[in-house]
Structure 1
Amino acid sequence: MLLKHGLSMSMIRGQGYDGASNMKGEINGLKTLILAENSSAYYIHCFAHQLQLALVAVAENHKEVGDFFTTANSVTSLVAGSCKRADMVRDSQTRKLAEAIAANEQETGQGLNQEMSLKRPGDTRWGSYYGALLNFEHLFSTIINVLERIEDDPTTEPKTASHAWRMLITIQDFRFVFILKLMIELLAITNELSLALQRRDQDIVNAMKLVRVGKTRLQEMRDRGWESLLEDVILFCTKESVHVLGMDDEYVLPGRSRRKAPQITNLHHYQVELYYSVLDMQLQELDNRFDEVNTRLLTCMASLSPENEFVAFDREKLVSLT
């Protein structure tokens, strides 16, 4: 293609593709093949897509988080999998709202109390997971009610009733609620960053600042957010009649006897092995995908922007770029 149009490989100064391995692969990817011919053809991956991949990496590499998303998707498919069950969700939601308004526990007014529904997020669009988990949290008691109706309905197939019973046990558990709250708080930060990076009018320098701000907010969450998250989880569990674990009690591995469980407390497991571990993995992924070389490269290149009569021109940055 380059030869056809009379273009020289030596003049390429940048390349960018999607996340497929045959494009960005380190061994035989197109990026690598071109870099072998011309080391100045720097590869820059779409920032918004890199952010999505960083989120995917956490779900794939942390078994408890991965299991959580599998369960949440399974519940969503079961509860919202037919018109009959969707009507159950709607009826249950309407009844609970009416009870809350009658008890003066719910504000009323224009634009408030809009109908919500469970939605299955897109597998490759991790920004959609934030909205899906918010709805899951808001409809938690409704989901429990619908699962109970599915299990008790004599017309339900035995296999489906058994599946509903297992889902009831799984989601009415402290671990599930803890990860639900943790991922909502984490995705709230990354969702803002994702939306900002997808703006068509976003400039390079501001995009780099947004990435740094996102990392800083995640680090602050890691350093100072544990107490508030735990308090939020306990309040939610109390409201939804989910058993609250004692943080000083011995941690018991799900599905295993006490004899085989490691001698650690619930506090250690949930704070160190879950909270710190997930946030550290997220921060490490962001550091890996938004590395210092690309950050400096893009910041220096912004000096060549002709906008506003080259207001961003910076000779020192151009020397560094060279």
Structure 2
Amino acid sequence: MDYFGSDTFTKVGYNNWKNALKSFNAHVGGPNSAHNNARKHAIDFKNQRRSVAHVWSEKSTEKEEQYKARLAIVLGVVRFLLLQAHAFHGHDESLSLSNKGNLLEMLEWYKGKDPKAASVFGENAPGNNQMTSHKIQKDLVKACANETRNAIISEMGGRLFAVLVDESHDKLIKEQMTVILRYVNEQGHAIERFLGVKHVTETASSLKEALDSMFAKYGLSISQLRGQGYDGDSNMRGQLHGLQRRVLDENPYAFYIHCFAHQLQLVVISVAKCCSSVLDFFNYVTLIVSIVSASCKRKDQLLQDQHEKNC
């Protein structure tokens, strides 16, 4: 067992002071001994502003405040770009370019207008904490999306609602299911809100599973559903195994209504087939658009001819 002292100072005492200096040094110990630590704490207590712990604490608090200010500014820019549906970054974000993309350019503008922003970005911020990386941008976008969904769910307030679902593939040829909620707010107005996009396979069972997972994630229940709106695809409106039938089997009050936009499209197609003049009109319009849109010269010639005809 280690001892912090010697009985010489408490019980035995000194008969010979020849080795006193050696005993004193042994009692004091090294830089991290209990004696020296107690002395340092006493000095720090007398003058706390000069203590190392206090200085480090002040530095940590200052860095934390700078981080909060930097995060608030970047988050404000992200929210603006999301609201305006603008791209965050361009093809190249090199520092030597005159235009580095919307987010970086807006931050540069912000720094020029607000001295506080300039004090927490660029050279005044750590190299690994600039808050401008693509990963940070995606995290902030996801956080904004979650807050938006929470606001939608809060606005619904547990009311009954209808769901509008459509599917299409993106540029990567992935089938995506889009889900929109339709409900009546406290003012009695019909509101439509976009809930999210889910990757699915082209089967009714996968569509139902994806819908159930989104409802479970956001605290919604099939029992609250009172309407379904889909297109005429067999996976959607199938009477035996379609999405609308699978939902109706679970909730018979979720009535299915064929999407009005798709119904109008089918009506136009049906009328065009029955009337040769209408069919010719749409065929000619399609040909004109295809021919003119492929050439700027043809487009200019068509505009000039139309202008001369109207004059």
TM, length-normalised to structure 2: 0.25
**Larger strand proportion of the pair:** 2
**Larger helix proportion of the pair:** 1
Task: Specify the structure having the higher radius of gyration (Cα).
Answer: 2
RCO higher in 1 or 2 (8 Å CA, sep ≥ 6)?
A: 1
